[in-house]
Structure 1
């Protein structure tokens, strides 16, 4: 069986979406004749933990580890709350304290490409021995953090091997990049590193067509789109909420603030007593203070239920029991190619998806193809209101459902098949 070394920062017990992509690939690689070998940090700083992911690790999986020095541990002495928020990707855009502005400047300008950069050189030295010992000639790096790609870059430069770089998110065009208070020199360094990685890797994997088109402007190397997906059965729940729950699963960052949705919900609450009595806004995961302030501005604070972070298994249960699932992306041209991993689990839950995102958002095509919901931009009020009202009327009749057609192509096992064909 052919061996492949997978180099990733996020691995169980890490929680959140970043860990799931390669955990699921590794889970199914052996089914297609590939034996994965893992390389992960020995002492990582994970903002979120989820022990339930441990059950998906294949038996007898060989895992190599090496320690990593992370500045987040030092910064946490100054402010553990702000440090955890920044390392989770939650960047407040308003009312930033001097400390938070300072931490952001340091993060963006001194730790390039990111705060895990100190793991690169020790890993390159360590992995040369591992590759020789295991007889491995193919490696896969996955980012963010994009410093992981630099491990592949330096290994490729020093020894003969095949390197595949997997980008779960873009690099210099990702939403939070512009919030890092980068100097022109730092911005140039980021772009140069991105260019170097894209033009040194043998093959590239991305999660969206938009990112593929973006990278094709920078390199002639082969690029394959392999999206994220869902694992498990496609099945509707027999235990739907009795209230008209409109739920968001996962972190809701400051930039993802669909004010038109809050306005429409406020209007419906004020105009329709049945809607008012039935509606509930449920948030599973971290919600930024700016989002909560906007919801309160529209008088919806009494309809909020904040559950907080839960295990992945619990999140799946909430998805299946909710009446409507919210999917939100930042309103920016830079985010039209961002396809949240939760989209595919939403589809498998067979509940209507209500999306608000940038105009020409790539997610809209997937939603239309699978007939799993509706997508709106941030300026859309009337159509959004009509859809919500129609869904509420179907809810009242006990008929709120969707078809979830043709979504098997997004199962984790099928996506692993595509991965093996590519590598």
Structure 2
């Protein structure tokens, strides 16, 4: 059986989408005659924890651990709330940032390149070099963010000539919050140089979106494969739908994910239709920024709002299955066209209609179209958005609201792991 070493920062009990991608790959790799070995920090600082995910780690998997020095604990002396927000990617717009957040962002962007986990690179290279030699491991995988993990792979490739696959769950310099790090020209140039070095020296690159692949192909000739996130077949099922007309969003809603046009449309429908006002529940499951909550409340929707907060992954899946409509929102910018949220694929498996709002030419629109699972709108849409929500509502009132969700089998975690296994074997 072929052995592969997976280097990742996020692993149970970490919560959120970052951990689930490789947890699920590890779950199924043995089905394809590949034995995974996982390397993680022994003392990580996870902004979100979900202890239930530990139950999904397969028995007998070898897990290697080494300590990491993380400067976030120093920043928490000044503000635990601000530090946790930055670590989670919840960054306010420039005009709404206080002095402390601006200072922390400047330090994060210019003193910790590529990120605050950079101090794990050297000890990891030293430890893993010995492990790879002793256990005759010829293939390694790094997954980022944090993109400092890719620098571990870069060093091991140069030192030991192993096959190195770099998996980008998100872009590097092209990700939306990169511009908010208050980078100096020197720091920006360093990020670009490190990104190019990783892209040009990896043996193979994996991206989770088609747009990110196209953007990387402008930088490197290294082969690139798109392996999206997916859904697990072993998931809770529920045929019992919410009695109310729930429009549910599962996952974090950052400051930039704030479609004012949607809140305005819902407000108009509430004002125009008493039945709609009584039936509508806007259900937000996960961390929500103050800006988004303020926008919703200022739009007169406070009485229709259910703010649930973070829940365990399995409970989140149950809430998805019960929703009348599932809401998917991305930041409205060119940089986010290649972001395909992991929740999209779990939404597909729930077979509930998906209402998606995001940037023009968003990769998500392509998947919604091919699966017939929902509708996409940009941030300027109004009349057509209002029409679609009312169409959903009328079907809900007749107990006929459903979703086709066809051709989704290729997005199952097991099918995607098969695609990964083909890369590892060649």
Please state which band the TM-score falls in when normalised by the shorter chain.
over 0.9
Give the deviation of 1:236 after TM superposition: 6.4
1:237 CA displacement:
2.9
1:353 and 1:236 map into 2 onto residues whose CA distance is 17
The two structures, once aligned, show a CA RMSD in angstroms of 0.9
Q: Is the 8 A contact 1:234 1:348 kept in 2?
A: no
* Structure 1: unaligned runs, 5 residues or longer: none
Q: Distance in 1 between matches of 2:28 and 2:361?
A: 33
Aligned twin of 1:48:
48
Match of 2:160 in 1: 159
Aligned residue in 2 for 1:387: 388
Matching of residues 37-186 of structure 1 within 5 Å: 37-93=37-93, 94-186=95-187
Which whole-Å deviations, capped at 9, do the CAs of 1:87-128 have from their partners, x for residues lacking one?
Answer: 011001142111111000001111000000000001000001
Report if the CA contact (8 A) 1:208-1:225 is conserved: yes
Deviations 1:378-398 (A, max 9, x none): 011011111100000000000
CA distance in 1, matches of 2:215, 2:20: 24
Q: How many angstroms does 1:234 deviate by? A: 7.9
Secondary structure in structure 2 of the residue aligned to 1:416: helix
Give the CA deviation at 1:136.
Answer: 0.5
SS of equivalent residue, structure 2 residue 96: coil
Aligned length, in residue pairs: 423
User: Secondary structure in 1 aligned to 2:141?
Assistant: strand
Change (3 A) 1:44 1:235: closer
Are residues 1:18 and 2:18 paired? yes
C-alpha displacement at 1:149, in angstroms? 0.1
Matches of 1:401 and 1:391, distance apart in 2: 9
For 1:290-318, what per-residue CA distance to the aligned partner results, in whole angstroms no more than 9, with x for missing partners?
Answer: 00111122111111111100000000000
Quote the Cα distance in structure 2 between the aligned partners of 1:115 and 1:89.
13
With normalisation by structure 1, the TM-score equals: 0.99
Deviating 4+ runs (over 3 angstroms): 233-236
Give the conservation status (yes or no) of the 8 Å contact 2:356–2:375.
yes
Matches within 5 A, 1:326-365: 326-365=327-366
Cα distance in 2 for residues equivalent to 1:299 and 1:151: 50
The 5 A counterparts of 1:269-280 are: 269-280=270-281
The yes-or-no answer on 1:260 pairing with 2:261 is yes
Matched, 1:305 2:306: yes
Structure 1 counterpart SS, 2:15: coil
Counterparts of residues 213-252 of structure 1 (less than 5 Å): 213-232=214-233, 237-252=238-253
d(CA) in 1 for partners of 2:423, 2:139: 12
> For the residues of structure 1 that align with 2:235 and 2:82, how far apart are their CA atoms?
38
CA distance in 2, matches of 1:233, 1:35: 21
Residue 34 (structure 1) aligns with: 34
Distance 2:172 2:313 in 1: 26
Q: 1:211 deviation in Å?
A: 0.5
User: 2: distance between equivalents of 1:342 and 1:290?
Assistant: 22
Distance (whole Å) between structure 1 residues aligned to residue 235 and residue 308 of structure 2: 25
Range 143-152 or range 86-95, more displaced = 86-95
Q: C-alpha distance in 2, partners of 1:351/1:306? A: 20
Of residues 359-368 and 126-135 in structure 1, the stretch that sits farther from structure 2 once superposed is: 126-135
Give SS of 2:293's match: helix
CA distance in 1, matches of 2:72, 2:250: 26
Structure 1 residues 264 and 236: alpha-carbon distance in aligned structure 2, compared to 1, 3 A threshold: farther
- Structure 2 Cα separation of the partners of residues 6 and 40 of structure 1: 9
- Superposed displacement of residue 264, structure 1: 0.6
CA contact (8 A) 2:237 2:318 kept: no
CA displacement at 1:10 relative to structure 2: 0.1
What is the CA–CA distance in structure 2 between the aligned matches of 1:360 and 1:294, rounded to whole Å? Answer: 25
Determine if contact 2:236/2:314 at 8 Å carries over to the other structure.
no
Instruction: Give, in whole Å, the separation in 2 of the partners of 1:232 and 1:156.
Output: 35
CA drift at 1:242 = 0.5
For the Cα contact (< 8 Å) 1:236–1:350, is it kept in 2? no
Deviation at 1:41, TM superposition (A): 0.4
- Cα distance in 2, alignment partners of residues 234 and 121 from structure 1: 39
1:285 is aligned to 2:289: no
Find the counterpart in structure 2 of residue 191 from structure 1: 192
